[in-house]
Structure 1
Amino acid sequence: MRLMTAKQSLFGLVLGIASSLGLAQEVTLKVHHFWPPGAMPPTRILQPWCDKIAADSANKLKCQIFPAMQLGGSPPQLIDQAKDGVVDIVFTLPGYTAGRFPIMEVFELPFMTNSAEAAARAAWDYYGKYASKEFTGLKPLMFSTHDEGYLHSREKQIKSMADLKGMKLRAPTRQTNKLLASLGATPVSMPLPGVADAVSKGTIDGFALPWEVIPSVKLHEMVKYHTETDPSRPALYSAVFILAMNQAKYDSLSPELKAVIDRNSGAQLSQHAGRIWDESQAVGRKPAMDRGNVFYTVPAAEVDQWIKASHPLYDDWVADMDKRGLPGKQMLQDAQALLAKYKK
């Protein structure tokens, strides 16, 4: 009996030493997202990140990626799948759950920026200052926005606010819905996977999307007209993306594996993702050009009218923050200051 006890004690000691050195722990992280497998974000942002944490951990950390909602549920449920531990990591938009993350929505207000890299860096800093309580149960690994958002329509070219009147246009987030309504359109809230079917059936007349994602779901083949905005003005809209990990899963990792996650996440990963989104614009635009689709750039003077018409959304957001006991005006100014800082 004493010999058995001694062996058990020795075994426990060896296990403890191995664990403390990070030798015993091998972890496969279950990662879920809504894009088709070949889309830009999973191939150029997510997969390289997974490869990097595997290399840095001597393959103790690995990803098992499930694209296109393969594990079930709908895109708005992804954030809770991570929070509840159904999966370990999700790549999604907080804005798919309307009104749940209102602080980070500041970067989804219209005409804030036309640089995804600047927005990604600003969003990471802003999260640390104001929004950490919005993500209880989650460990954000990255925030980013996409490249400039534009309008794409099936049967009518959009050149002015008058053209938008009565058009049913898909929007990704609450603030983009409000933007389209302020310009006279009829917004239809819809995650990306539903857009192709809605366009083909005529449920919507068009959609708000950045160029990056359009080829992966072949939407350039379902519309004829594309409306861009004068590059001297900020982009029509942006949407915020998050790579988020279940907090309890992160906490369960050894110190060495936590350090691998930390070294490869945060401000640096956010900036990297934003830069990739900016670079993806021309590539995403090319298939629509090759198909012979019709392009129109809204001139600066007309864009200024759109900016003026949608400005009350800023006041509404500030008022909402104030009602929550937060310094709304200062928060908006800080977001704008961070965007200006990182655009230089």
Structure 2
Amino acid sequence: MKVSKLLIAASAAVALTSQVIAEELKFANFTPPFHTINASVIQKLNTDLSEATGGDLTVRGYHGGELGSGPAEQYIRVLQGAADLAWGLPGYTSSQFGKTMIAELPGAIPEDMPGYKALWRAYEEHLKGEFPGTKPIALWTSEPNIMIMRNKVIRTPEDLAGLKVRVAGATAADVAKALGATPVQMPISQVYNAMQTGLIDGVITGASTLRDFKLDEVADALTIGAPLGRLAFFTVLNGQVYEGLNDSQQAAIEAASGIELSKNAEEAWLATADAALEAARGDSANQIVDLTEAEKMAFIKAVAGVVEGYVDRVDGDDTMAAMQDK
């Protein structure tokens, strides 16, 4: 009888201890759960952390802005504790991420070089100061940007004259201006309605948005091959939350984050983009312009000064060299 009581007491103590050390991290996602971020980062983190800690550390995604609306506020959401984790685009708050944004410039990272490797190469020495109060869990880039337009077919820079084109951040705005367009900065979640209502004529972004944000429903012309750079992304964890985890939970975070998670995210973006482009090409309602080498040259000349000008403004020569592994 005494043994039974001791076993019951011990079991209760173990259960209580498990309750105390168990931690569920809240991940703020401003997009719907079908977006590429969910499987490639949120669910993967949950699986990896749960397996590594025996369920003591898990991740729960809060989708569609459930923890607060506004894609531009994702980083602040983590700093203020509304979320433990969040993903976002440096371009939405470009002034904070001056050097990180170099990754988005045309040609700053060669197209055959993985963007996540470039970002992590530069992180410790050049980018870390742009992520105060947080621990970056993943840094990656999108597929090369293309032009996604409605009722406008773009073959030359001159075709963009006077058109209103949505851009994500400061670097893409510089590119749009160099091409003669009027850049309009807004979160990607607002682009569908803006294109549908004619507020903007199109967007410079990756083809993955055709699927992730259903832009295939409002666009009918794509121009592929112009030097338009790519987008950068982050996932960050509140620094105090990380410090409050126990040793095994911190070890699990270290093992589940960094290069491998970033690689998984970037490859997922590329796969989504490839599938979206294939579907777009199969839709007879779309006009797809694949620029010839001669046509690309006109765009290359038009944006030639953008990279040098931006890098000079942010004193980023060493940062770009680190990204390029030079």
TM-score, shorter chain, exceeding 0.5: yes
**One-letter code aligned to 1:262:** E
**One-letter code aligned to 2:194:** A
Q: Which consecutive residues of structure 1, in runs of 5 or more, have no partner in the other structure? A: 1-10, 323-327, 339-344
In structure 2, C-alpha distance between the alignment counterparts of 1:64 and 1:187, rounded to whole Å? 36
Q: Equivalent residues in 2 for 1:27-46 (5 A)?
A: 27-46=23-42
> What secondary structure sits across from 1:214 in the alignment?
helix
Match of residue 238 from structure 2: 246
In structure 1, C-alpha distance between the alignment counterparts of 2:67 and 2:250, rounded to whole Å? 26
Q: Equivalent residues in 2 for 1:1-344 (5 A)?
A: 24-113=20-109, 115=111, 118-229=114-225, 235-292=227-284, 293-322=286-315, 328-337=316-325
**One-letter code aligned to 1:305:** A
- Report if the CA contact (8 A) 1:159-1:296 is conserved: yes
Q: Provide the alpha-carbon RMSD of the alignment.
A: 2.2
1:142-177 deviation per Cα after TM superposition (whole angstroms, max 9, x unaligned): 100011210011112100101011111111111111
**One-letter code aligned to 1:163:** D
> What secondary structure sits across from 1:207 in the alignment?
strand
Q: Which consecutive residues of structure 2, in runs of 5 or more, have no partner in the other structure? A: 1-9
Bigger shift: residues 80-89 or 278-287: 278-287
Give the TM-score normalised by the residue count of structure 2: 0.90
Q: 1:239 Cα shift? A: 1.1
**One-letter code aligned to 2:254:** D
Bigger shift: residues 171-180 or 38-47: 38-47
1:224-244 deviation per Cα after TM superposition (whole angstroms, max 9, x unaligned): 1110007xxxx5221110010
Bigger shift: residues 216-225 or 284-293: 284-293
In structure 2, C-alpha distance between the alignment counterparts of 1:168 and 1:280, rounded to whole Å? 26
**One-letter code aligned to 1:225:** A
Q: 1:191 Cα shift? A: 0.8
> What secondary structure sits across from 1:156 in the alignment?
coil
Q: 1:116 Cα shift? A: 8.0
**One-letter code aligned to 1:157:** V
- Report if the CA contact (8 A) 1:116-1:146 is conserved: no
Q: 1:309 Cα shift? A: 2.1
**One-letter code aligned to 2:312:** A
- Report if the CA contact (8 A) 1:117-1:272 is conserved: no
Q: Runs (4+) of structure 1 moved beyond 6 Å?
A: none
What percentage of aligned pairs have identical amino acids? 26
**One-letter code aligned to 2:103:** F
Q: 1:296 Cα shift? A: 0.5
Q: 1:24 Cα shift? A: 4.2
- Report if the CA contact (8 A) 1:28-1:61 is conserved: yes
In structure 2, C-alpha distance between the alignment counterparts of 1:209 and 1:90, rounded to whole Å? 21
> What secondary structure sits across from 1:35 in the alignment?
coil
> What secondary structure sits across from 1:152 in the alignment?
strand
Q: 1:208 Cα shift? A: 1.4
Match of residue 3 from structure 1: none
**One-letter code aligned to 2:202:** G
**One-letter code aligned to 2:244:** S
- Report if the CA contact (8 A) 1:179-1:310 is conserved: yes
